[in-house]
Structure formats: structure tokens, C-alpha cells
Structure 1
Amino acid sequence: MADCCRAPAGHVYDLAVIGAGSAGFSAAITAAEGGARVALIGHGTIGGTCVNSGCVPSKTMIRAAEAVHAAKAA
């Protein structure tokens, strides 16, 4: 099984982003979309609390509850 945490020997990056929370993830994606070779360095889940268990999931649940409420009221 390949080790996800080791770059191939001699690999060169244009940018190393330290911190894989929402800001670091966004910075890495933006740089990669611009053509940069990016290393994203962090621990735990990429995207941080907001993306994985905080803001985004809670907003999804709120929108689902609003849709159910609107359907019942119709």
C-alpha cells in the first residue's frame, strides 16, 4: 500500500501550505487551479471543523428541515 504522507524523492513543489483547515485547503485549491504544484501539510481531516462537522453539515441539515417544513405547509 502506498504511503499517502511521503512525496516521491526529488519532487518539487511551488507552494507548501501548512495547515489543512478551511483556509489552508482553500489556499491550496486556489494555487493548484492556477497551475502551481502544491503540498498541503496538516493532520486530521482536510478542511477542518467547519467543512466536516460544523458549518457546512449544519447548513445542510437546516436546508433539509426547511424543505420538509415547506412541503408540509403546501
Structure 2
Amino acid sequence: MKYILPALLLFTLFSCDDKEATPKYETQNYTILFGDKEAGYFNSSKTEDGKYNFVYEFNDRGRGPHLEETVILND
């Protein structure tokens, strides 16, 4: 479970077919299911000033993390 968020972050940052061109970042919104019920979400977006924002929340019987991350990449 602790490796899910880093894997999702890497997947959303580097999922591009053309490595030469700068890809247009598309906002990603995922729903996390536990069985057949919604148990959380993962959202990623890019701001106009180039920052990447990630929000992950998972709730199982009233427990679970809420994580927010901002990533700033240099050239």
C-alpha cells in the first residue's frame, strides 16, 4: 500500500509517448474502490506556473490517509 502513491505520481508525470516534445499535462482523476464501494480518490493537476499538485485520500471504516503533495521540477 505504501508504494501506490509514488507509483501513481511517476505514472502521471512520465506517461507520454513523445519524449522529444513537451507533453500537455492532462488532469487525472481516479476513484479508489474497496470491494464495490468508493473508498477514496487520487487527483493530479498542473498549475499555470508549472507546479504539479497531487491529492490522495483513502478511507476504510473511518481510517485512512489524506495526502497532498506539490512537486516543482527544474529544467
User: Do both proteins adopt the same fold according to a TM-score greater than 0.5, normalized to the shorter chain?
Assistant: no
Identify which of structures 1 and 2 has the higher relative contact order when contacts are C-alpha pairs closer than 8 Å and 6+ apart. 1
The bucket for the TM-score relative to the shorter chain is under 0.3
Question: Greater Rg, structure 1 or structure 2?
Answer: 1
Pick the structure with more helix per residue.
Answer: 1
